[in-house]
Amino acid sequence: MSNPTDIQKFSDLALSLQRAKNEEERRALLLGEENVKKSLREGLLSCISVDSLPLSAQNALFSLVVIGQEGSLLPEDLEGVLEDLIEVDRFFVSLGGIVGYQAKVFACLDKKSSFQSSSFSRPKGIDLSHSWDQVGDRVERGIASLPFFAEVYPIGGLGSRLGLKSVSGDPLPAATLPYCGRSLLEELVRDVQGKEFLYFRLYGKTTTIPIAMMTSHENENHKRIEALCEEKNWFGRKPESFRLFTQPSVPVVSEEGEWLWEKRGKLLLQPGGHGALWKAASEEQVFDWLRGLEKKYLLIRQINNPIGGTGRGLLGFMGTGVGEEKTFGFASCDRLPNAAEGLLVLKQEGEKYSLSNIEYTDMAHYGIEDLPTATGFSPYPTNTNLLFANLSKLLPHIEKAPLPELVLNVKNEVECVGDGGKIRKQKGGRLECMMQNVSDGLAAEHTFLTFNKRRETISVAKRTYLPGNTLLETPEGAFYDQMANSYALLEDHCGVTLPPFSSEKEYLEKGPSTLFLYHPALGPLYEIIEQKIRWGDWKWGSELQLEIADCIVESLSLSGSLLIRAENILGEKRDGVIAYGQETGKCILRGVRVENLGIDRETITTYWKNRIERREALELVLLGRSELLIEGVTFCGSQKIVVPDGERWVVTQNASGEIEIAKEVANSVWTYRKEKRSFILCLGQDKTSLQPA
């Protein structure tokens, strides 16, 4: 373990290195250190032609010697380690390079923190769960501002705790987790498309929200993410609307602050945390790219939170940041005690107030007890990693402080090389940069916080569910919360009569009491979905899946499974790219009764993956720009109706119970219009005859 003298020595040198104007000045400072002088005389550096190396390589190597972490490194091993050393030294130059990295490691191990002299209180914010009359203007502003937004996803993490592995046994990116029949990454992209389609239907204009994704080099994360995007044809979007950039990998250290080695001549490195996003995006010109596209605002989302886009929460959050001209913001909710989630506080240091995040691992250090209040939740709201940023206002701050809040958690076992070259396991960790703590350097009045219902804001998939354990942070738990949201939508907004919602025990044993999945473009606002799904009576075990945006389901009696799928959900594809328009599949069901055996509850079914075995189902498939109108028909058993592109089928049932189909030409127009602080769904055969649905 380091002593106070080491910490002060490295901190002083790191400060001098920060102030150095160039590599020559840094080299001169490092050459003055006793460790370097000794090594040049009789150590590692004496066996190397140091002067033949580039200055960046010399300084990285000198820094390693200064902090005493060259270990048993031999001259012949340098080629494999220098590139990593140079990158670490370069990325942490604002801290003083490698020396600054080690100074911060020792400070963290010694529990030094600027927060120790701070006081904390619960921050105030805007509650988006209130009625539309109270928050609708924020949502409307969020929609109107979509042309000026980009989204950013830190997706460099691996799904080791989720059991995600390749055929060869290597951990796969968490972004590839199969959730609801598609990857977590595709779920987030669908949320983007839902917002874009809402904008198109309301304003008649197409807007594209570019997506930047921060990957990592660990276990070929970057290559695998890129391959997933290519395999999915960039999710029907232009490839140039995406930008992938990588976060750096940083040294893993032991509980004593010693650097660990993966093997001889190979440092043990791990991704440096999502807070590297700000510096990495700046250095790789991601922000320049976005400003060139005239994007002013960022929405940052964590990949493992599939329910973050539910309802009005994000649009209201975005509209708040834009309308109040804030620099940075947090979308938050109640925090569950003992959850592995950071908490948000209003931090006071003297006369300065700022919104800040404290990691759950540091709560005890700051004297914060994780005890529930009378509501059952923690006294502080949770950090959901749903963030807003105003680019022009935040970038000057990032230039001054590119690496917000570095923390060190030496808690997980890692494999490293020990004495004698043998591989062993020991606890290790690396300095992680917290992206949300960029707010620490901002005055509280330049930041904001919104609140919403927890189940509509956060439910993460971090680890595999083990029988008998809690559902918290598991895919099963996220899907359970998603079904709770769907249940509340149907019952409270759509007026559908439903069986009692499943308890967690019933859900795990039998599956959800009702299963309702839909494409985000059906809304995503509940205020729009409630105009498309109205009334009805669903029996226990019923299932409705809507892979369609233009759809009305009115007075549906459902016992079994009903699956409606449009080939063109958002519009036709042109050269593989979806063009938002009226060339969509459209479906209207009124007074329809569906009776079939539905989901086979006796088989092993993974509901959260949407891998479902059915005994019977009614399938309605709309190809291209086709339309289907069904009124007053009863469907029994398994049936499938496929409507050809360009046709409009009107399906009825005569007195004898026979189904009759009248075929016409598809020409319907669907749109939304703003009226009385809400949005009204309008239907018609042309734009001049549009009427509320």
CA 365 to the chain's CA centroid: 28
Least confident of 203-217, 359-373, 532-546, 580-594: 359-373
What number of helices (H) and strands (E) belong to the chain?
A: 16, 39
Q: Cα separation of 141 and 127, whole Å? A: 16
Closest CA to 486 of 466, 507, 467: 507
Cis peptide before 524 (omega within 30 of 0): yes
Q: What is the mean pLDDT of residues 68-77?
A: 85
Q: Which residues contact 678 (CB under 8 A, 6 or more apart)?
A: 132, 136, 527
Q: Are 159 and 172 in contact (CB under 8 A)?
A: yes
Q: Per-residue pLDDT averaged across 565-569, rounded?
A: 98
The bridge status of strand 533-538 relative to strand 550-559 is parallel
Cα distance between residue 215 and residue 406, in whole Å: 19
CATH superfamily for 123-247+273-397+438-456 is: Spore Coat Polysaccharide Biosynthesis Protein SpsA; Chain A (3.90.550.10)
Q: Which residues touch 652 (CB under 8 Å, ≥6 apart)?
A: 630, 631, 632, 633, 659, 660, 662
Q: What token pair was written down for 173?
A: 């990116």
Q: 114 pLDDT exceeds 70? A: no
* pLDDT score, position 363: 86
d(CA 92, CA 395): 18
Cα separation, 403 vs 14, whole angstroms:
15
Q: What is the mean pLDDT of the chain?
A: 94
Percentage with pLDDT > 70 across the chain: 98
- pLDDT score at 84: 94
Q: Environment class of residue 161 by beta-carbon count within 10 Å: exposed (0-12), middle (13-18) or buried (19+)?
A: middle
* Residue from 512, 515, 589, 530 nearest 556 by CA: 589
- Six token digits for residue 457: 């804001």
- What number of other Cβ atoms are within 10 A of residue 43's Cβ? 15
Q: How far apart are the first and last CA of the chain?
A: 71
User: Distance of CA 612 to CAs 180, 522, 603, Å?
Assistant: 10, 22, 9
CA distances 402 to 92, 406, 407, Å, are 9, 11, 15
CA distance 433 to 407: 6
* Nearest residue to 309 via CA among 155, 188, 208: 188
Q: Is residue 42 exposed (0-12), middle (13-18) or buried (19+ Cβ within 10 Å)?
A: exposed
Which pLDDT score is estimated for 405?
84
Decide if 368 contacts 342 (C-beta within 8 A): no
Report phi then psi at 55, rounded to 5: -55, -40
pLDDT of residue 73 exceeding 90, the answer is: no
Overall size of the chain counted in residues: 693
Of the candidates 450, 412, 442, the residue with the CA atom closest to the CA atom of residue 428: 412
Token pair in block for residue 531: 């105009």
pLDDT at site 3: 61
What are the pLDDT digits (tens) for 417-471? 887 788 999 999 999 899 999 999 999 999 999 999 999 999 999 999 999 999 9
d(CA 361, CA 339): 10
For residue 117, the model assigns a pLDDT of 67
Q: What was the pLDDT predicted at 94?
A: 92
CB-CB neighbours of 448 under 10 Å: 24
Higher-confidence residue: 191 or 421?
191
CA atoms within 13 Å, Cβ hemisphere of 1: 8
Name the one residue in this structure whose structure tokens are 């460790």: 35
The 8-class DSSP code of residue 624 comes to S
Q: Are 510 and 601 in contact (CB under 8 A)?
A: yes
User: Domain map of the chain by residue range?
Assistant: 4-109, 123-247+273-397+438-456, 475-692
Answer yes or no: is pLDDT of 238 > 60.
yes
> Given this model, what pLDDT does residue 419 score?
75
What confidence category does residue 111 fall into, taking pLDDT thresholds of 50, 70 and 90?
low
Contact 533, 571 (CB under 8 A): no
What is the value of pTM for the model shown? 0.95
Q: Cα(284)–Cα(214) distance, rounded to whole angstroms?
A: 11
Is the pLDDT at 356 greater than 80, yes or no?
yes
As a whole number of angstroms, the distance between CA 580 and CA 570 comes to 5
The kind and range of the H/E element at 13 are helix 4-19
Confidence of residue 127 (pLDDT cuts 50, 70, 90): very high
Helix (H) or strand (E) holding 488: helix 475-488
| pLDDT tens digits, one per residue of 288-327 | 999 999 999 999 999 999 999 999 999 999 999 999 999 9
Dig out the tokens for 354 from the structure.
């700022």
Q: What are phi and psi of 513, to 5 degrees?
A: -65, -35
Q: Are 629 and 667 in contact (CB under 8 A)?
A: no
User: Cα angle at 552 between 488 and 530, to 5 degrees?
Assistant: 30
Farthest CA pair distance, the chain: 103
Lowest mean pLDDT among 290-304, 370-384, 525-539: 370-384
Among 193, 226, 190, CA closest to 208: 193
Write the burial class of residue 647 (CB in 10 Å: 0-12 exposed, 13-18 middle, 19+ buried): middle
Query: 1-12: per-residue pLDDT in tens?
Result: 456 667 888 999
Confidence of residue 618 (pLDDT cuts 50, 70, 90): very high
Please say if the pLDDT value at position 509 is more than 90. Answer: yes
Burial class (CB in 10 A: 0-12, 13-18, 19+), 636: middle
Q: Which of 282, 99, 308, 289 is nearest to 211 (CA)?
A: 289
Mean pLDDT of 341-348: 94
Predicted confidence at residue 604, as pLDDT, reads: 85
Query: For the chain, what percentages of helix, strand and coil (3-state, to nearest 5) are there?
Result: 35, 30, 35
pLDDT in tens, 640-680: 999 999 999 999 999 999 999 999 999 999 999 988 768 99
Residue 691 confidence (pLDDT): 82
Long-range residue pairs from 412-421, CB within 8 A, at least 24 positions apart, any chain: 414/252, 414/260, 414/268, 415/262, 416/252, 416/260, 416/261, 416/262, 416/268, 417/261, 417/262, 417/263, 417/264, 421/264
Class of residue 467 by CB neighbours under 10 A (exposed 0-12, middle 13-18, buried 19+): exposed
